[in-house]
Amino acid sequence: MTTYETVFIMNPVLSEDQVKETVKKFVDHIKSNKGKITNEENWGLKKLKYTIQKKKTGFYYLIEFQADGQMINDFEVEFKRDERVIRWQTVKLEKFALAYADRRKKKLSTNAKAE
Amino acid sequence: MGNKTDIKYLSPVDIELRQQNKYCRFKKMGIDYIDYKDPEFLMRFLNEQGKILPRRITGNSLKFQRRLATAVKRARQIALLPYVADNLK
């Protein structure tokens, strides 16, 4: 079970609950393929550094999950088919990346507690 | 007859311009993973047009320059860094 990290950008014209719905769709897709979600981050509406499909902003979302390799292909097809998502990127987390991800999670949780 | 006063140096005088010895910032600070998700850190290694600075300027070691390049390219893919910019800094 290797860990992967997917960042995807959603269309800014979507409403709040549509964003939640698309995220839920991908989360359910991972869970149905015996994947395990380890971390989720909602970066919200951010300005894109260049226009994608004539849009200047987008909803960013990050999902870190553990799954086996075969599942990734149809996960990507799922993204390709869904037109609400304008850009996505799946990255495999190696040794150092995993350690970094754990440190990042701890840092974010402490910040969340601090606020 | 050339006047004898002006001294012609046979070999060019090498003036120590750049700082003495460059160090690899990642090795020194013990960073082992360059995260593609925080653009502020990556922007230090880009010039104003958004191009990746070469090793001879940043002084990175080959291993970390390659990791940096992949991180920058990934960040560009998800629009955290521009491909082409005119006033990045």
Per residue in A20-54, pLDDT tens? 999 999 999 999 988 899 989 998 899 999 999 99
Mutate to test the interface with B, among A49, A63, A93, A107 (most CBs of B within 10 A): A49
Using CB atoms, pick whichever of A49, A60, A91 lies closest to residue B81: A49
Q: What is the dihedral of CA A51, A57, A61, A67, to 10 degrees?
A: -20
On chain A, the residues whose CB falls within 8 A of the CB of B49 are none
**SS3 of residue A79 by DSSP:** helix
pLDDT at B26 over 80: no
The reported pLDDT for the residue numbered A50 is 93
Q: Distance (Å) from the C-alpha of residue A33 to the closest C-alpha of chain B?
A: 25
| pLDDT attached to residue A107 | 83
Residue B89: its pLDDT value, please? Answer: 67
A58–B79 CB contact, under 8 Å: yes
Partners of residue A60 in chain B, C-beta under 8 Å:
78
What domains are there in chain A, each with its CATH number?
2-114 (3.30.70.60)
| CA of A28 vs chain B CAs: smallest distance (Å) | 23
For residue range B30-45, what is the model confidence (pLDDT) as tens digits?
A: 788 889 998 989 988 9
Q: Does A108 touch chain B (CB under 8 A)?
A: no
- DSSP state letters, B59-88: ---HHHHHHHHHHHHHHHHTTSS-SS-SS-
pLDDT at residue number B76:
94
Residue B16: per-residue pLDDT: 64
Query: With contacts defined as CB-CB under 8 Å, which chain A residues touch B86?
Result: none
pLDDT in tens, B62-83: 999 999 999 999 999 999 999 9
Q: What is the dihedral of CA B48, B52, B57, B59, to 10 degrees?
A: 140
| Section A83-108 average pLDDT | 88
ipTM: 0.86
Model's pTM, two decimal places? Answer: 0.81
Computed over every residue of chain B, the mean pLDDT equals 83
What's the whole-number average pLDDT of chain A? 90
A97 interaction partners in chain B (CB closer than 8 Å): 33
CB A21 within 8 A of CB A59: no
